[in-house]
A and B are shown apart, each in its own frame.
Chain A
Amino acid sequence: MGSSLRIVNGRVYDPANGVDGEVRDVCIRDGKIAADAPPDAKRIDAAGMVVMPGGVDIHCHIAGPKVNLARKVQPEDHRYDVHPRTRVTRSGTGGSVPSTFATGYRYAGLGYTTAMEAAVTPLGARHALEELHDTPVIDKGFYVLVGNNVLLYRLLQEGRLEEFRNALAWWIKVTKAYAPKLVNPGGDELWKGQRNANITSLDDKIGPFELTPRKVIAGFIEAATALGLPHPVHIHCNNLGHTGNVATTLETMRLAEGRRTHFAHVQFNSYGPAAGKSQTNPTSGAREIAEFVNTHPNISADVGAVMFGRSTIMTGDAPLAYMLRQFGGTKWVNADTENESGCGIVPFTYQDRVYTNAMQWAVGLELFLLSQDPWRMVFSTDHPNGGSFVTYPRLIRLLMDREFRKARMAEVNQKALDRSGLRDLSREYSLNEIAIVTRAGPARLLGLTRKGQLGVGADADVTIYEEDPDKEKMFSAPRYVIKDGELIIEDHEFRVDHEGRLLHVAPDFDPGIEQVIEPFFEDFYTIRFANYAVDDRYAPHHEIIPTAPQAAGARP
């Protein structure tokens, strides 16, 4: 870690610090960006290259119980995409759900240095942490599924809001999670308890509870706001994937009432009512969603763009996966977790000639192109749901290169395209905007102040791309990748292996809450309360990001 580096002659894109393509030096010392480097520091000549902070993925699925089921269920998808070992790095397999080592190396190989696994059951936290530990190079964290939690529902239903908030904090802390995640709130109870039914509106009654999704979502936003988490509630809305769901999405966004809230992969929640004679073919709702986000600074979103080709639907939204099963082929996985969640997995292929798939592709691009604030509408494919993270370079090119986009548009289902707004959009993203949506923006939304930027004191996670008019090629294989000041990739090759950190939060709570939680465990869990919390051995390299009250308290 003690090594120093000086990157010279590169064009630097560091939007968080207002640097837009200036040629300037970037210095690194002891794993951090520094004002200067000693004279004997290794020099990297980045002439003709672009220097950016390492990429930050705010929403992907890379580790934990459901991911491992999705890996196991698709040997045929791994066979043709092997990841051979080198002298210094482990082997693995790819496909839409790569093995842990392949995941880490391939993210690094695209210039990404941080990624957030977006849905882990609390009971699956230990498993997720073990996998993240085996995911090399990148820093990582996960969001914990709390939106269908039975005990939290009971507290909310009984109006015990303080205990609700304390229990939420407890759950986040003992699982070493980064943020609370809601997936199809209320859906699991209907799925598991009422013969595979599902929620259809924010005002549906949630099974035996005197609760509705509306009440649940509002409750979580309020509690998370009070806790001052670095990243707010991260919501996968109800009715995801359904034609006409834009109404539900907007209603959910309104529930935030000015408080910070993040909406995951909104593309999947931006479908207008059915078009023409069809009962199911959606129109695009991208404009309404983009407008709402544009005009509400408390709201942020990641796009969850769809890229054609092989994907894997894997979600806490079990009824959704069941619905998609009919299009997916022969395999379907469902996995219920006691008191906490559901889960569904379907191998899936997006086809450009299929109306719905083409519409999804168009809606994703529209959301990007209609967004007026790249800091709040950031980059994702909801890997591997909308497409693998290895398609990111192509998605970047679709945003940066109008002609390329047009050529691609000519190949997709034209009816769908007619009913989207994509033909009217000629915008092209600049490198600076790409740096925002793939790095600076997600880092800011996550409250990771030392990521996504190259100011003095920032983590020395740096990517250097060779400039190329073909942006897909440019972003596919950075020449250099530096993680924590270490030169991991040099001349496109791995020089050393590296273990990144777990990023998590540890909000404070009233310890008395354990007296409320423990009896519930004795009755309804099959694991002892004492064995539930995940201990520090599962996070050998970690960093706790303070909550707002903690940060304030720590200040002298």
Chain B
Amino acid sequence: MSLAFTLRTPPTVPLEAEVLTPARLAGLSAPEAAKLSVVHGNERADLGEFFQVQGTADGGGAGEFRLTGDLSRVKHVGAGMADGRIVIHGSVGMHLGAEMTGGEIIVEGDAADWVGPEMTGGRIVIKGNAGHMVGAASRGSAVGVRGGEIVVFGNTGNEAGHGMRRGLVAIGGDAGDFAGVSMLAGTIVVLGSLGWRAGAGMRRGSIVTMHPVELLPTFSYACTYAPLYLRLLLARLRRLGLPVADAQVSGRYQRWSGDAVELNKGEVLILEA
């Protein structure tokens, strides 16, 4: 049986638990895992002070483990992970999977701000809603997601995919403002509606939406077509469980080019009603 952590004593102040990656837990018994260091506010603490730990870790870095409880004050879970799998039953705090390079994180709940910032590979799936800055660049940095994919079944806050250079951000619900702001390349799919000012300052890349939206005045209409890559992509999202309708897979999309303030080589695809 792989390791299972159940939150027994919810932290009163933020708990930083970047030890919660498959690689750090590899080969550990439950008591050993309980001895790992976390930062509770400004002091070191044992993981076991907060979590009940059961089972034994899978060998190697590619193991899997499970977290259960309201982890909304537990930050940096899966940060920097390279492979393996984390399943979270409950909500989770900020910086989930920050800078991860591979592996998979599944959240059967909501995630706070900064899901997968500057990740380069792997996959994060959020079954509930996610906060601001999904797959974004850290403050001051120009590049966000460099690879991998983030799938959010619910809604997201602002700045999803800020500065992304490769990879995929898929949002089943609505996106907040400035989705795909300053994006360099990559793809953002929003099945719900886009907030304001999507794609502001984008250089390349694609933003796809299923609802009518008024873009910035620096975007211009190019054509209407049914892009093949989108058909394949949407079919794949459907297999991941997102509610993609047939009409969306087979539909025709208006292609808008932008942002003219930058290279004007990006596109926003809007499903024709």
* Residues of A near any B CB (own CB < 8 A): 73-77, 79, 329-330
- Closest A residue by C-beta to B142: A330
Most A C-beta atoms less than 10 A away, residue of B138, B139, B140, B141: B140
A75, B139: Cβ atoms closer than 8 Å: yes
Q: How far is the CA of A75 from the CA of B141 in the complex (A)?
A: 8
Q: How far is the CA of A73 from the CA of B139 in the complex (A)?
A: 10
Give the chain A neighbours of B142 by CB distance below 8 A: 329-330
Give the chain B neighbours of A329 by CB distance below 8 A: 142
Give the chain A neighbours of B138 by CB distance below 8 A: 75-76, 79
Q: How far is the CA of A327 from the CA of B85 in the complex (A)?
A: 41
Give the chain B neighbours of A330 by CB distance below 8 A: 142
Q: How far is the CA of A73 from the CA of B142 in the complex (A)?
A: 12
Please give the distance in Å from B196's CB to the nearest CB on chain A. Answer: 22
Please give the distance in Å from B41's CB to the nearest CB on chain A. Answer: 16
Please give the distance in Å from A437's CB to the nearest CB on chain B. Answer: 35
The contact string, 1 if C-beta is below 8 Å from chain A, for chain B 164-192, is: 00000000000000000000000000000
Please give the distance in Å from B72's CB to the nearest CB on chain A. Answer: 24
B128-187 contacts to A, CB under 8 A, are 138-142
Q: How far is the CA of A330 from the CA of B138 in the complex (A)?
A: 15
Q: How far is the CA of A329 from the CA of B140 in the complex (A)?
A: 12
Please give the distance in Å from A347's CB to the nearest CB on chain B. Answer: 9
Give the chain B neighbours of A77 by CB distance below 8 A: 140
- Closest B residue by C-beta to A329: B142
Give the chain A neighbours of B140 by CB distance below 8 A: 73-77
Q: Can you give 5 contacting A-B residue pairs, CB < 8 Å?
A: A75-B141, A76-B138, A77-B140, A79-B138, A330-B142
Please give the distance in Å from A312's CB to the nearest CB on chain B. Answer: 13
Q: How far is the CA of A77 from the CA of B139 in the complex (A)?
A: 10
Give the chain A neighbours of B141 by CB distance below 8 A: 75-76
Most B C-beta atoms less than 10 A away, residue of A73, A76, A77, A79: A76
Please give the distance in Å from B183's CB to the nearest CB on chain A. Answer: 13
Q: How far is the CA of A330 from the CA of B143 in the complex (A)?
A: 11
Q: How far is the CA of A329 from the CA of B142 in the complex (A)?
A: 9
Closest CB pairs A-B (n = 10): A76-B141, A75-B140, A76-B140, A75-B139, A330-B142, A76-B138, A74-B140, A329-B142, A79-B138, A76-B139
- Closest B residue by C-beta to A78: B140
Please give the distance in Å from A447's CB to the nearest CB on chain B. Answer: 40
Given A74-B140, A76-B138, A329-B142, 11 new contacts (CB under 8 A): A73-B140, A75-B138, A75-B139, A75-B140, A75-B141, A76-B139, A76-B140, A76-B141, A77-B140, A79-B138, A330-B142
Q: How far is the CA of A108 from the CA of B139 in the complex (A)?
A: 30
Q: How far is the CA of A74 from the CA of B142 in the complex (A)?
A: 11
Q: How far is the CA of A196 from the CA of B51 in the complex (A)?
A: 62
Please give the distance in Å from A270's CB to the nearest CB on chain B. Answer: 33
- Closest A residue by C-beta to B139: A75
Please give the distance in Å from A294's CB to the nearest CB on chain B. Answer: 44
- Closest A residue by C-beta to B118: A76
Please give the distance in Å from B90's CB to the nearest CB on chain A. Answer: 29
Give the chain B neighbours of A74 by CB distance below 8 A: 140
Q: How far is the CA of A506 from the CA of B138 in the complex (A)?
A: 46
Give the chain A neighbours of B139 by CB distance below 8 A: 75-76
Q: How far is the CA of A76 from the CA of B142 in the complex (A)?
A: 9
Q: How far is the CA of A421 from the CA of B139 in the complex (A)?
A: 43
Q: How far is the CA of A77 from the CA of B140 in the complex (A)?
A: 9
Q: How far is the CA of A166 from the CA of B142 in the complex (A)?
A: 49
Please give the distance in Å from A71's CB to the nearest CB on chain B. Answer: 11
Give the chain B neighbours of A73 by CB distance below 8 A: 140
Q: How far is the CA of A176 from the CA of B139 in the complex (A)?
A: 37
Please give the distance in Å from A460's CB to the nearest CB on chain B. Answer: 38
Give the chain B neighbours of A79 by CB distance below 8 A: 138
Q: How far is the CA of A543 from the CA of B233 in the complex (A)?
A: 70
Q: How far is the CA of A208 from the CA of B139 in the complex (A)?
A: 43
- Closest A residue by C-beta to B201: A330
B89-140 contacts to A, CB under 8 A, are 138-140
Q: How far is the CA of A329 from the CA of B184 in the complex (A)?
A: 13
Please give the distance in Å from A42's CB to the nearest CB on chain B. Answer: 35
Q: How far is the CA of A73 from the CA of B141 in the complex (A)?
A: 10
Give the chain B neighbours of A75 by CB distance below 8 A: 138-141
The contact string, 1 if C-beta is below 8 Å from chain A, for chain B 36-53, is: 000000000000000000
Give the chain B neighbours of A76 by CB distance below 8 A: 138-141
Please give the distance in Å from A6's CB to the nearest CB on chain B. Answer: 41
Please give the distance in Å from B223's CB to the nearest CB on chain A. Answer: 31
- Closest B residue by C-beta to A72: B140
Please give the distance in Å from B261's CB to the nearest CB on chain A. Answer: 13
Q: How far is the CA of A79 from the CA of B140 in the complex (A)?
A: 10
Q: How far is the CA of A77 from the CA of B141 in the complex (A)?
A: 8
- Closest B residue by C-beta to A73: B140
Q: How far is the CA of A6 from the CA of B99 in the complex (A)?
A: 51
Q: How far is the CA of A76 from the CA of B139 in the complex (A)?
A: 7
Q: How far is the CA of A76 from the CA of B137 in the complex (A)?
A: 10
- Closest A residue by C-beta to B138: A76
- Closest A residue by C-beta to B163: A330
Q: How far is the CA of A449 from the CA of B139 in the complex (A)?
A: 46
Q: How far is the CA of A74 from the CA of B138 in the complex (A)?
A: 11
- Closest A residue by C-beta to B182: A330
Please give the distance in Å from B243's CB to the nearest CB on chain A. Answer: 37
Q: How far is the CA of A170 from the CA of B121 in the complex (A)?
A: 61
Please give the distance in Å from A86's CB to the nearest CB on chain B. Answer: 15
Q: How far is the CA of A330 from the CA of B162 in the complex (A)?
A: 15
The contact string, 1 if C-beta is below 8 Å from chain A, for chain B 14-45, is: 00000000000000000000000000000000
Q: How far is the CA of A73 from the CA of B140 in the complex (A)?
A: 7
Q: How far is the CA of A233 from the CA of B111 in the complex (A)?
A: 59
Q: How far is the CA of A77 from the CA of B138 in the complex (A)?
A: 11
Q: How far is the CA of A77 from the CA of B142 in the complex (A)?
A: 12
Please give the distance in Å from A323's CB to the nearest CB on chain B. Answer: 20
Q: How far is the CA of A76 from the CA of B138 in the complex (A)?
A: 7
Q: How far is the CA of A329 from the CA of B137 in the complex (A)?
A: 15
Please give the distance in Å from A69's CB to the nearest CB on chain B. Answer: 13
- Closest B residue by C-beta to A77: B140
Please give the distance in Å from B140's CB to the nearest CB on chain A. Answer: 4
Q: How far is the CA of A496 from the CA of B141 in the complex (A)?
A: 36
Q: How far is the CA of A84 from the CA of B26 in the complex (A)?
A: 28
Q: How far is the CA of A538 from the CA of B221 in the complex (A)?
A: 60
Please give the distance in Å from A328's CB to the nearest CB on chain B. Answer: 11
